[in-house]
A = this chain, B = another copy of it.
Amino acid sequence: MRAKLKTIAEATGFSINTVSRVLRNDRRISEKTSRIIKSKADELGYIPDAIASSMRSPNTRTIGVVSADSSNPFFSEVIKGISEKADELGYQMLIGNTEESFEKEEHLIKLFLSRKVDGLIIMPAYNTSEHHIAFYASLPVPFVFAGRYIDGFASHSILHCDEDGERDVFRYLIGQGHRSILYLSGPECISNTIERDKGMMEAYREAGLDIDQRLIFHLPGHMEDGYQAVNNAINKSLEFSAVACFNDIVAMGVMKSLSENDLSIPDDVEVIGYDNLMFSQFMNPSLSTVDVPKHKLGYA
């Protein structure tokens, strides 16, 4: 049987309580007692029982991380940032994926609550209805949203400014003389898309240019989307000299299609991603706007 406080107490002749205090570095314990007990604990290979401990104490030092898709490099970089910070703070992470389904998200959060997490970091699924708002509002623990903004929970959100980011992208492209920019935006109902579309429109307005709606597409944001979109555009003989993508993954798909069609980057077509994944800096010319809530995320 694995050693417990009682084992150590009996072995040293002190009370369970004293042992517990020593092991938690409580003050008002004599140096000597502390030494004796600690060495005994070591000898017995004592491993504290965090379960029993969090039964009595108010917190579990655990946070729940709800990710939409942890194999998506963007999310996994964010998760890594969280992980580092959590580590530093002595917290553990419970992680789960929702695959962009709100039901799964709700289920997962309930599981986390049942495990008494001290806080939640949520990368919310697309969908946001009355019900979801109410659900979030009812959460009994602190929570933050990462990467996406949910109506009514502004103060709970950590994000970089999508509007500014996309405006800068378009300002840059327009400044480079591009007049036909293929814009592969994201899913219509999420905050990032809405914000970025605003930024895009702003840049056009500033430059006094009209927007060609035929060049704008709202896509889920996977690699295939970028690939297909450019293929289609080329097939339909759409003219464009630049492509602005919703994220770096889409950009990769775009680049693949362009190179298959013997178009060079950036000479024939300029491509811009979004997110600045670890990868992106090592890809063929792919300018990307940085979006790294990564380390900002460590305090739930």
Binding site for B on A (CB under 8 A): 2, 47-52, 54-55, 60, 62, 69-71, 73, 76-77, 79-80, 83-84, 87, 92-97, 110-111, 113-116, 140, 223-224, 227, 252-253, 255-256, 259, 278-279, 282-284
Answer whether A76 and B84 are a contact pair too, CB < 8 Å, given A51-B55, A51-B60, A52-B55: no
A114–B166 Cα gap in the complex (Å)? 46
Q: How far is the CB of A207 from chain B (nearest CB, A)?
A: 32
CB–CB A92/B71 < 8 A: no
Answer whether A96 and B83 are a contact pair too, CB < 8 Å, given A60-B51, A279-B223: yes
Within 8 Å by CB of A278, from B71, B79, B92, B96, lies B71
Within 8 Å by CB of A252, from B52, B71, B76, B282, lies B282
Within 8 Å by CB of A111, from B73, B92, B224, B256, lies B92
A76–B71 Cα gap in the complex (Å)? 5
CB–CB B70/A73 < 8 A: no
Per CB-CB distance, the 10 closest pairs between chain A and chain B, nearest first, are A71-B80, A76-B76, A50-B114, A50-B115, A223-B282, A95-B95, A256-B282, A71-B77, A48-B114, A47-B114
Residues of B within 8 A of A282 (CB): 223-224, 227, 252-253, 256
CB–CB A110/B47 < 8 A: yes
Task: Name which residue of chain B comes closest to A112, CB basis.
Answer: B92
CB–CB A83/B55 < 8 A: no
A79–B71 Cα gap in the complex (Å)? 8
Answer whether A80 and B70 are a contact pair too, CB < 8 Å, given A2-B140, A52-B55, A253-B282: yes
